[in-house]
Amino acid sequence: MPLDEIQTELGADRAALSAKVEELNATYRHHSATDVFRGALQDGGDIALVSSFGAESVVLLHMAAVVNKATPVVFVDTQMLFTETLVYQAEVAERLGLTNVQIIRADQEDIDRDDPYGALRLSDTDACCTLRKTIPLQRALKGFDGWITGRKRFQAGSREALEFFEVEDGTGRIKVNPLAHWAPEDVRAYMTENRLPRHPLVAQGYPSIGCAPCTSPVKPGEDPRAGRWRDQNKEECGIHFVDGKMVRIGENA
């Protein structure tokens, strides 16, 4: 099914949704990230955590394990991920006792039609991301009222006013950002205090980890995301929406 048809099916009363989001932000404005996570599950409807099992993903995965080990965790396997990511995903899920990890992939018919040789990324990286990540994720989220992300205010100027709860444009869902107010040192401290396992590629110079063909090590002094789609005018895989369109720049999960 085309992405625009999926979005149409996900339409909702934006006014009512905005009122609900405003109420949630007022309720949890001064609460901790874990409280926001718990509040999302309790008051936000059917909520899923979308996780890449990347460099910092273990923080929210740990919160899910603390709040409710049965929290739906959606993991998109693009079939182009590092082997280390796939191994890390299995190990973290088992260690934290997560019982509802949903591994999703693109429909094989879509792959056979649009990228039978796995070379689409060489001619159109946006189309490759849409095929292998965005469309499968939107399909997986159809049954949910919202999803939890790891976005933070410090990551981009467009996020300086990021709230814990927001309306996702074009989908009729709530987007939850428990770590909105966290700084990089908060992430590191949480991982250290809770003795959480690091993604093995971080120690090899990969502070931001995506698909293997499109991710390279980052040199000292470079932006942490410099290794994603290096030398290309692209910074985002397209899983976030603004004004009903997939965001390509400055809206990283």
Domain ranges, ordered by start, for the chain: 3-246
For residue 192, count other CB atoms closer than 10 A to its CB: 9
pLDDT at 249: 35
Pick the CATH number of 3-246 from 3.40.50.620, 3.40.605.10, 3.30.9.10, 3.30.310.50: 3.40.50.620
Query: Which residues are known catalytic residues?
Result: 237
pLDDT tens, N- to C-terminus, the chain (253 residues): 555 554 444 444 778 889 999 999 999 999 999 999 999 999 999 999 999 999 999 999 999 999 999 999 999 999 999 999 999 999 999 999 999 999 999 999 999 999 999 999 999 999 999 999 999 999 999 989 999 999 887 665 455 668 999 998 878 899 999 999 999 999 999 999 999 999 999 999 998 899 999 998 888 877 777 777 676 655 544 444 444 444 443 333 4
pLDDT at 233: 56
pLDDT at 60: 98
pLDDT at 89: 98
| pTM, full prediction | 0.84
